[in-house]
A and B are shown apart, each in its own frame.
Chain A
Amino acid sequence: MKQLLKGNIQIVDEVKDWKTALEIASQPLIEKGKIETRYIDAMIETICKLGPYIVMIPKVAMPHARPEDGVNETSLSLLKLNKAIEFSPEKNKVQLILILAAKDNSSHVNVIVEIMNFIENDSLIDKVISCQSVYEIEKLLLEEE
């Protein structure tokens, strides 16, 4: 997970809505050619259709779509928002957006397990949220086991 996140971490103060957050979070992956812009549309469409199921724990959203929706390479990016945004009235405290793009249905399995270890660690999530710079987040995550 750390390798995939390197160079793809951003901090933004605030955004007007969750769609904008997704677009911003996806930028590093678009710029590096890991995903196509239609992947962003696919993620947004799924959330509009099925609701914000990608907010799996209160402060973290993990938007993702299918490999065939425009993934060139399995990749991951993280956007930290200083001001929490709302995906729905109940899911309104999201500050971390983790964009996941899997090239096929099995290559990302290890990444998923690592992401799980990250998101089940409440104190680590809070530490990331309290970081003021990308450098701090990188130091925190790249040093975590």
Chain B
Amino acid sequence: MKILVMCGNGLGSSFMMELNVKKVLKALGKEDGVDVSHCDLTTGMSTEADIYVATEDIMENFSKDGVKKVALKNIMDLNELTEKLSKHI
């Protein structure tokens, strides 16, 4: 399974979210076979993934349809991430 984390520039907040996604996967015991990477929004539009993760602001600009999306209010809130991510995995 591939999880893609996106942000505006692909080097700051997306990396932080990637680290948090990995933390949450580990806590849920689901990290095996899951590839987590990060990029900017534009690259994300043309990259295939099973689940896309971004803040709500960025997700509003992400116009891919028919894909699984996790939109976060607070990227440091692991409870929010756990709740929203576990719906898709």
Contacts and interface: CB of A to CB of B under 8 A. Distances in A.
A53 B71 CA distance: 11
Nearest to B17: A56
A64 B11 contact: yes
B11 A66 contact: yes
A109 B9 CA distance: 14
Q: Which bucket holds chain A's interface residue count?
A: 20 to 34
B72 to A, nearest CB: 9
Interface of A: 46-47, 49-54, 56-58, 62, 64-67, 100, 102, 105, 108-109, 112-113, 115-116, 119-120
A53 B15 contact: no
Contact of B58 (A50, A105, A113): A50
Interface residues of B, number: 21
B76 A64 contact: no
Interface in B44-72: 54-55, 57-58, 60-61
Interface of B: 7-13, 15-16, 19, 41, 54-55, 57-58, 60-61, 74-77
21 contacts: A46-B9, A50-B41, A50-B61, A51-B57, A53-B13, A53-B58, A57-B75, A57-B77, A58-B74, A62-B13, A64-B9, A64-B11, A65-B9, A66-B11, A100-B12, A102-B12, A105-B11, A109-B15, A113-B19, A116-B76, A120-B76
A31 B43 CA distance: 33
Contacts of A52: 57
Looking at B10, B12, B19, B61, the one whose CB has the most chain A CB atoms below 10 A away is B12
Nearest to A53: B57
